[in-house]
A and B are shown apart, each in its own frame.
Chain A
Amino acid sequence: MKEELFVSGRMNDLIDPSLNIWHWQIPLYLFLGGMAAGILCIAALYYIRGKEKEYYTAIRITPFLAPVLLVFGLLALFIDLRHKLYFWQLYTNIKLQSPMSWGAWTLMVVTPVSFIWCALHIKDIFPKWNWKYRWLLALETFFNKYKKVLAWVMLIYGLILGIYTGILLSAFNARPLWNTSIMGPLFLASGLSAGAAATLIMSKDNIERKQFARIDLVIIGIELFLIVHMFMGYLASTQVQVEAAEMFLGGQYTMTFWIFVVILGLLIPALLEILELRKYHIPALISPLLVIFGSLMLRFIIVYAGQVSRWLY
């Protein structure tokens, strides 16, 4: 029999018996940020491709969610900080090797950009909106002139926002569950999927909705592919990664992951959308809501389970 134990009674709060340093604030932010990234990327992409009239909601209306999501996300991140008075230190330098530093700066770019994008379309929601001040009107004109540049900026930084959270997790090789290069693309795909789902909910145009249902279906397919390969990767890897994967293949997170994320969040929406495409009548909201729910649950489970996975003790 083999025993490995602490002789000196180590029981550091939040570290032992298993790591629990990040709570709901982090997965919530990852979800909000991911969804906002998805919304903005889709909006920017289709704007650049000139589909402003076809995908009116996606480009002009859905992005109004983004600033809200981002502000709440930033709030969640701030609440999570344990040394709040010093949060501004994040912005005194850029650490290229720290994904968290990229994230801090990316958010600094994306959040104002999302506000500006919304400001450009505010008259779609509030037709009587009046900018009042001359400098604001000047700004509006300026940004409208360079809207395409703005869209490119939004696209690039949106993609970074969508993928960096996964890269941030995958850079922690100390947490075997996160240490897979598939995490970044998986989170990006999940975020795009949630963004597309948002448009599905908000759009009233059937053509747009059909297109986005197709987009969602494709992204779900990609996500399933990524998840399968992620597990194949774990099981073919080192002992600690095999143990991490076992949490999902018979261990404590098996039920929650496969039911909430895969079945409810991916397979059922896919099924419903296929049926919808085959002209069956499905209530419009179920599918996108499940997708968004799945996206949220993915982040919660990955963040909590990842902290449990460790190398030692």
Chain B
Amino acid sequence: MRYAMAVDTRKCVGCSDCVVACQTENNVPHGFCRDWVVEVMDGTYPQLEIEIRSERCNHCANSPCVRCCPTGASHFEEGGIVLVNKTECIGCGACIASCPYDARYPHPDGYVDKCTFCYHRIKNGMKPACVEVCPTKCMYFGDLDDANSDVSVVLKKRKYKTLIPEAGTGPQLYFLI
């Protein structure tokens, strides 16, 4: 089982609903975010191109954050999801420094926090909050090992990319282009 998420940049409008939904669902403290939206603009008026992406922790297959954690608090859960065990985390910050996507942040309570792919929801058969709320339905989530899951189907149909694949972390967040 390998969980992955795909975001369709053709449809994303950058409304940031995914950010608010994540914040309320997961009680993310104000001033921090587990996911965010990036806009990339290129060209000269009026020949312009724009790409809008909703980003978060990539739950990498070869994640440096799990590797460098001295206590094992940062670990792989089923499906390759990377989670932080709050009672094992000592707050050393190594995982924060090790993430090339800068996806982690220090929670005010001391431990390190980040997107969990809404593990508390997916283990009950629901989708992550961001995928569920997106008004343009541009987000897909599922098991890559299941050929019929939303994400497998859409990755077969469309061209996609990941962010900085050269960093070698094996990200599981795909952007449909």
Contact = CB atoms under 8 A, between A and B. Distances in A.
Do any beta carbons of A and B sit within 8 angstroms of each other in the complex?
yes
Interface of A: 1-16, 19, 21-22, 80-87, 89-90, 92-93, 95, 97-101, 103-104, 168, 171-175, 238, 307, 310-313
Contacts of A92: 71
A interface: dominant SS: loop
A172 B102 contact: no
B93 to A, nearest CB: 4
B32 interface: yes
Contacts of B105: 12-15
Nearest to A313: B102
A99 B43 CA distance: 44
B92 A100 contact: yes
A6 B71 contact: no
Contact of B68 (A6, A81, A171): A171
15 contacts: A5-B38, A5-B39, A10-B36, A14-B106, A15-B105, A82-B90, A82-B93, A82-B111, A86-B91, A89-B87, A95-B69, A97-B68, A100-B68, A175-B97, A311-B167
A103 B69 CA distance: 12
A212 B66 CA distance: 43
Nearest to A103: B70
B99 A174 contact: yes
Among A9, A12, A84, A93, find the residue whose CB has the most chain B CB atoms closer than 10 A: A12
A18 to B, nearest CB: 9
B interface: dominant SS: loop
Contacts of A85: 110
B32 A89 contact: no
A174 B98 contact: yes
A172 B67 CA distance: 10
Interface residues of B, number: 52
A3 B40 contact: yes
Interface string B99-125: 111101110011110000000000000
Query: 5 tightest CB-CB pairs across the interface, nearest first?
Result: A82-B91, A83-B91, A83-B110, A174-B100, A100-B70
Contacts of A83: 86, 89-91, 109-111
Contacts of B40: 2-4
Among B42, B73, B96, find the residue whose CB has the most chain A CB atoms closer than 10 A: B96
Given A7-B16, A80-B93, A83-B89, 4 more contacts: A7-B38, A15-B106, A82-B106, A307-B97
Contacts of B111: 82-83
Interface of B: 14, 16, 19, 31-33, 36-44, 52, 64, 67-73, 86-94, 96-102, 104-106, 109-112, 163-164, 166-168
Contact of A173 (B43, B89, B163, B168): B168
Contacts of B86: 83
A6 B36 contact: yes
Given A82-B111, A97-B67, A310-B102, A21 B97 contact: yes
A265 to B, nearest CB: 25
A174 B86 CA distance: 23
Nearest to A99: B68
B57 to A, nearest CB: 12
B110 A84 contact: yes
B157 to A, nearest CB: 26
Contact of B98 (A2, A9, A14, A172): A172
Contacts of B31: 11-13
A81 B67 contact: no
Given A81-B92, A311-B167, A21 B37 contact: no
Contacts of B71: 86, 89-90, 92-93, 95, 101
Given A8-B16, A22-B93, A89-B88, A173 B68 contact: no
A86 B89 contact: yes
A81 B90 contact: yes
Given A312-B102, A312-B163, A87 B72 contact: no
Contact of B90 (A89, A95, A173): A89
Contacts of A101: 70-71
Contacts of A84: 90-91, 110
Among B37, B89, B94, find the residue whose CB has the most chain A CB atoms closer than 10 A: B94
B90 A87 contact: yes
